[in-house]
Amino acid sequence: MIHLTKTISCEGSPQATLTLPFANRTKSRLRTSLDDGRAAGLFLERGQVLEQGDLLSSEDGMIVEVVAAQERVSVVRCENPLLMAKACYHLGNRHVPLQINAGRLQYLHDHVLDNMLVGLGLTVQVEMVPFQPGSGAYSNHGHRHH
Range(s) within the chain of domains with CATH label 3.30.70.790: 70-130
Average pLDDT, the chain: 92
The span from the CA of 145 to the CA of 51, in Å, is: 9
CATH no. of 2-68: 2.60.260.20
Flag residues of the chain having pLDDT under 70.
Answer: 11, 136-146
pLDDT value, residue 143: 46
Provide the whole-model pTM: 0.85
Residues of the chain with CATH 2.60.260.20: 2-68
Residues whose CB is less than 8 angstroms from the CB of residue 84 and which lie 6 or more positions away in sequence, other chains included: 76, 78, 103, 105
Q: Span 70-130: which CATH code?
A: 3.30.70.790
Closest C-alpha among 128, 100, 129, 126 to residue 113: 126
**How does pLDDT run across 33-42, given as a tens digit for each residue?**
999 999 999 9
* 121-127-81-95 Cα dihedral, nearest 10 degrees: 90
